[in-house]
């Protein structure tokens, strides 16, 4: 997915890197000199040609959208994106579960969030393991059906 999103980015990775370097140099220059540096000053600071600096700044102004991997800090191998997706899924499932009976909600909570076994849940709710298994399967089936209808 990230490769596909990168193909949509009209600014090359090299230019994106230069834009970031320019932005850092501008920040540093603003702090130390209280003014924004000219393109010539940036070229000297970064050791680049003035024309390259000018082109990068124009591209930056036109395409100000930050890359998705920078927004989500996906340099972590995609863990942040996976966490966002997992959190979204949990929120959707919680929303769906809110319409279910208290017992169905409790079984799902104990099984998935508290990580209890069917035997442990059976002891808490005073119903057989097989009945808990039936309720669990029924709830999972209903969640899948509802997610398919609402989000598929």
> Which residues constitute the domain of residue 31?
2-71
Q: Which single residue is written with the structure tokens 């991997």? A: 69
Number of domains in the chain: 2
Looking at the fold, whether 59 and 84 belong to one and the same domain comes out as no
Looking at the fold, whether 15 and 44 belong to one and the same domain comes out as yes
Whether the Cβ atoms of residue 95 and residue 108 lie closer than 8 Å to each other: no
Looking at the fold, whether 8 and 39 belong to one and the same domain comes out as yes
Looking at the fold, whether 62 and 91 belong to one and the same domain comes out as no
Whole-number Å distance between alpha carbons of 18 and 11: 11
Assessment of whether the complete model's pTM goes beyond 0.85: no
Q: What is the CATH number of the domain that holds 85?
A: 1.20.140.160
Select from 24, 54, 71 the last residue of a domain. Answer: 71
Looking at the fold, whether 104 and 51 belong to one and the same domain comes out as no
Please list the pLDDT of the chain residue by residue as tens digits (152 residues). 445 555 555 567 777 788 889 988 988 988 888 888 999 999 999 999 999 988 888 777 655 555 555 545 555 556 666 777 777 877 888 888 888 999 998 998 888 878 899 999 999 999 999 999 999 999 888 888 887 765 54
Q: Which single residue is written with the structure tokens 């220059």? A: 29
Select from 46, 71, 96 the last residue of a domain. Answer: 71
């Amino acid at each position: 997915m990230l490769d596909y999103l990168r193909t949509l980015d009209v600014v090359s990775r090299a230019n994106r890197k230069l834009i970031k370097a320019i932005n850092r140099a501008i920040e540093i220059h603003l702090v130390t000199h209280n003014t924004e540096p000219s393109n010539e000053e940036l070229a000297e600071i970064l050791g680049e040609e003035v024309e390259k600096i000018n082109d990068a700044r124009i591209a930056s102004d036109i395409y100000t959208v930050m890359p998705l991997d920078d927004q989500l800090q996906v340099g972590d191998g995609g863990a942040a994106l996976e966490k966002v997706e997992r959190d979204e899924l949990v929120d959707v499932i919680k929303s769906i579960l809110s319409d279910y009976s208290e017992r169905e909600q409790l079984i799902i909570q104990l099984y998935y969030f508290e990580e209890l076994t069917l035997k442990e849940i059976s002891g808490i709710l005073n119903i057989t393991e097989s009945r808990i298994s039936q309720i669990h399967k029924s709830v999972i089936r209903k969640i899948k059906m509802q997610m398919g209808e609402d989000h598929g």
